[in-house]
């Protein structure tokens, strides 16, 4: 990025303040969710393992989406049109 592309002004500072506020709210909501899970008997180790598995799942899903996208380009169709061929739901 060039120095010109990041010149603080009132609008961008306000946008950053709003983003910080939203992130703080999300942080608080996540802390509350973790507290709820802990109160239900889950351990931090279980939660860490679950988070790790979710990250792995998302990486695999992203790779699958990328491959479907490339295949769609090769075939000249949309990715959505490939879903039935591979028994995928749109929510997958």
pLDDT digits (tens, 9 = 90+) for 18-42: 999 999 999 999 999 989 988 998 8
Q: What is the pLDDT of residue 2?
A: 47
Whole-prediction pTM value? 0.52
Q: Which of 24, 44, 22, 26 is nearest to 34 (CA)?
A: 44
Furthest-apart CA pair in the chain: how many Å?
52
Q: What is the pLDDT of residue 77?
A: 94
Q: Which of 54, 74, 65, 53 is nearest to 92 (CA)?
A: 65
- Provide the Cα torsion 12, 18, 20, 26; round to 10°: -150
């Amino acid at each position: 990025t060039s120095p010109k592309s990041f010149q603080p002004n009132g609008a961008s500072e306000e946008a950053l303040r709003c983003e910080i506020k939203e992130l703080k709210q999300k942080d608080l909501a996540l802390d509350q969710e973790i507290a709820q899970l802990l109160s239900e008997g889950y351990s931090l180790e279980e939660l860490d393992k679950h988070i790790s598995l979710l990250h792995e799942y998302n990486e695999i899903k992203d790779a699958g989406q990328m491959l479907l996208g490339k295949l769609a380009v090769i075939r000249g169709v949309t990715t959505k049109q490939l879903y039935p061929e591979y028994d995928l739901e749109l929510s997958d």
